[in-house]
């Protein structure tokens, strides 16, 4: 059975958690393959709200095996807190498995994330300050600490002492920050390691066996296409590859394994953090969307920047991820406005283009070309079939399919798992 992948097509927070929760129903395994606790996935199930950062959203389904792949960076204190939170709500985490090849976010990564942001001043990226960038940098620099080494007390202590010689020098001498005490970290983290050891295993072997046995695997994307290190609005991106291709490197499977790729999007666009945003509405329209859609971050609580839907982005995301279906959320939200717009191309130096330029200088010059639609201005939150949707909503959806070249698989008309239309 071919695997399914869920990815974000914009700048994150498209509502991936909701679809992972829905698709997990028919899956045997749910696997996170990139990012860390910079992610915040909201799931509302029978009125109970869950905000997950590291643990795959499949955990809410009893009996599903939930895996954190090698491509993820794990903050031990955060995952333990998340485990406690789930257990206190009666959710079992017995089926949680963490790759011994995943990397650990250390306290000095978090400190460096904050210090680097401060040093960037006005050109800051607006990171979540969770230590994500510095942890991935160490992975590439080959001084990162993998989970397998983290749970081996001797190797862990040795690596912390070794790393701190350099990290403390950078923290103190470059940024004027406070140095870390190696022994304190070793004591604190050894306690975390003891509690996490039972979840650590060679998850690649588990995934390969699952493939051989014909099990259904769902790969859970975090972040999104335009936060991707290679295809996003670099340098205003995260430090991993959240695109569908990241499944291969972040979970250890070949591309032929992947069957369906669901691209999650909102009926408008949002972004948290800094960086270009061609269709941003830094005005009354953006404020209205923010209030109607409750657009405040799940992880940091920051107000999200809001704007019109940019289908040039979705089209590009469709190509890079090989999308087989779109899931459009917040149709209920956008339908409350009188008139709505979508961007179908850009004008760059007098020419019409339908791609995203790599150069931020060029992207800043891109003028969105908008198509205006009459809205539906009615409550659609209890609609459960495409046929029942207002004519104007259907027109808007069909136009998105036309420009992006991808058919819609699901529509979201509210935050609850039940508030979905399957096509
Ligand atoms: P993720 O990071 O992609 O999983 O998305 P987040 O959970 O960060 O943000 C999505 C927000 O939109 C959450 O508050 C969801 O409960 C909410 N949401 C998802 N789909 C819909 C929808 O169709 N309508 C409305 N009104 N809210 C939605
Ligand atoms: P989910 O999975 C929205 C953004 C940050 C910042 C940039 C870099 O919930 O969609 P980082 O801490 O990763 O170095 O920050 O990336 N960012 C997200 N924005 N949703 C996310 O995840 C994000 N993860 C990172 O706001 O602009
Ligand atoms: Mg989120």
Instruction: List, for residues 212-271, the tens digit of each pLDDT value.
Output: 999 999 999 999 999 999 999 999 999 999 999 999 999 999 999 999 999 999 999 999
Count how many Cα atoms sit within 13 Å of the Cα of residue 234 in the half-sphere of its side chain. Answer: 10
Q: Are residues 66 and 213 in the same domain?
A: yes
Q: Are residues 119 and 239 in the same domain?
A: no
Q: Are residues 381 and 355 in the same domain?
A: yes
Q: Ligand 1 center to residue 213 CA distance, Å?
A: 34
Cα–Cα separations (whole angstroms), residue 5 to 61, 93, 219, 255, 261: 18, 22, 5, 11, 5
Cα–Cα separations (whole angstroms), residue 82 to 27, 36, 56, 298: 22, 13, 11, 14
Q: Ligand 3 center to residue 272 CA distance, Å?
A: 10
Nearest CA to ligand 2 atom 20: 12
d(CA 57, CA 22): 10
Q: Ligand 1 center to residue 270 CA distance, Å?
A: 11
Q: Ligand 1 center to residue 6 CA distance, Å?
A: 14
Candidate from 15, 19, 41, 411 with most ligand 1 atoms within 8 A of CB, to mutate: 15
Instruction: List, for residues 113-151, the tens digit of each pLDDT value.
Output: 999 999 999 999 999 999 999 999 999 999 999 999 999
Report the percentage of the chain scoring pLDDT > 90: 96
Provide the domain limits for residue 279: 265-422
Number of separate domains in the chain: 3
Instruction: Decide whether any atom of ligand 2 lies within 6 Å of the 56 Cβ.
Output: no
Are the CB atoms for 151 and 104 separated by under 8 Å?
Answer: no
Any catalytic annotation for residue 41?
yes
Instruction: List, for residues 298-350, the tens digit of each pLDDT value.
Output: 878 889 999 999 999 999 999 999 999 999 999 999 999 999 999 999 999 99
Instruction: Decide whether any atom of ligand 1 lies within 6 Å of the 275 Cβ.
Output: no
Of all ligands present, the nearest one to the C-alpha of 303 is 2
Residues 406-414, mean pLDDT to the nearest whole number? 98
| Domain termination residue (choose one: 241, 261, 281) | 261
Q: Are residues 274 and 385 in the same domain?
A: yes
| Domain termination residue (choose one: 239, 261, 283) | 261
Q: Tell whether the model's pLDDT for residue 86 goes beyond 80.
A: yes
Q: Are residues 153 and 63 in the same domain?
A: no
With bands split at pLDDT 50, 70 and 90, how would you rate the model's confidence at 297? confident
Q: Are residues 24 and 36 in the same domain?
A: yes
In sequence order, the 6+-apart residues with CB closer than 8 A to the CB of 257 are 2, 3, 211, 217
Instruction: Decide whether any atom of ligand 2 lies within 6 Å of the 10 Cβ.
Output: no
Q: Are residues 150 and 212 in the same domain?
A: no
Q: Tell whether the model's pLDDT for residue 25 goes beyond 70.
A: yes
Any catalytic annotation for residue 330?
no
Candidate from 19, 105, 238 with most ligand 2 atoms within 8 A of CB, to mutate: 238
Predicted local confidence at residue 46, as pLDDT = 80
Predicted local confidence at residue 1, as pLDDT = 59
Q: Tell whether the model's pLDDT for residue 194 goes beyond 80.
A: yes
| Domain termination residue (choose one: 210, 226, 261) | 261
Nearest CA to ligand 2 atom 6: 127
The per-residue pLDDT of the chain, averaged, comes to 97
Number of H helices, E strands in the chain: 14, 20
Q: What is the position in ligand 2's atom list of the atom closest to the CA of 240? A: 13
Predicted local confidence at residue 47, as pLDDT = 84
pTM above 0.85, yes or no: yes
Question: Of these residues, 21, 25, 26, 41, which one is catalytic?
Answer: 41
Residues 52-61, mean pLDDT to the nearest whole number? 94
Residues 198-209, mean pLDDT to the nearest whole number? 97
Q: Ligand 3 center to residue 223 CA distance, Å?
A: 7
């Amino acid at each position: 059975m071919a695997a399914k992948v869920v990815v974000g097509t914009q700048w994150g927070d498209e509502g991936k958690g909701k679809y992972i929760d829905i698709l997990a129903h028919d899956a045997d395994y749910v696997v996170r393959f990139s990012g860390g606790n910079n992610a915040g996935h909201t799931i509302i199930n029978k009125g109970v709200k869950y905000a997950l950062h590291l643990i795959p959203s499949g955990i809410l389904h009893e009996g599903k095996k939930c895996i954190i792949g090698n491509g993820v960076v794990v903050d031990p204190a955060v995952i333990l807190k998340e485990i406690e939170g789930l257990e206190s709500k009666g959710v079992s985490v017995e089926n949680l498995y963490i790759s011994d090849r995943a990397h650990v976010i250390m306290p000095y990564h978090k400190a460096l994330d904050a210090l680097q942001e401060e040093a960037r001043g006005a050109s800051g990226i607006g990171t979540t300050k969770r230590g994500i960038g510095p942890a991935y940098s160490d992975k590439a620099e080959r001084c990162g600490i993998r989970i397998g080494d983290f749970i081996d007390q001797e190797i862990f202590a040795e690596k912390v002492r070794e790393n701190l010689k350099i990290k403390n020098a950078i923290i103190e001498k470059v940024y004027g920050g406070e140095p870390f005490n190696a022994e304190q970290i070793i004591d604190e983290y050894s306690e975390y390691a003891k509690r996490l050891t039972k979840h650590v295993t060679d998850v690649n072997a588990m995934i390969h066996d699952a493939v051989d046995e014909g099990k259904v695997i769902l790969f859970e994307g975090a972040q999104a296409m335009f936060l991707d290190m290679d295809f996003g609005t670099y340098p205003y991106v995260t430090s991993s590859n959240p695109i569908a291709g990241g499944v291969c490197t972040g979970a250890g499977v070949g591309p032929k394994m992947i069957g369906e790729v669901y691209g999650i999007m909102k009926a408008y666009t949002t972004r948290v953090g800094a960086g270009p945003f061609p269709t941003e509405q830094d005005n009354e329209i953006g404020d209205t969307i923010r209030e109607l859609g409750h657009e405040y971050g799940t992880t940091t609580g920051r107000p999200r920047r809001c704007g019109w839907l940019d289908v040039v982005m979705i089209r590009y995301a469709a190509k890079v991820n090989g999308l087989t279906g779109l899931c459009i959320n917040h149709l209920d939200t956008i339908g409350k406005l009188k008139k709505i717009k979508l961007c179908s191309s850009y004008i760059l130096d007098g020419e019409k283009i339908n791609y995203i330029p790599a150069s931020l200088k060029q992207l800043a010059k891109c003028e969105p070309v908008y198509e205006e639609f009459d809205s539906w201005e009615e409550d659609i939150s209890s609609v459960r079939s495409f046929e029942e949707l207002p004519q104007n909503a259907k027109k808007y959806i069909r136009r998105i399919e036309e420009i992006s070249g991808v058919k819609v698989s699901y529509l979201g008309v509210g935050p609850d798992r039940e508030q979905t239309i399957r096509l």
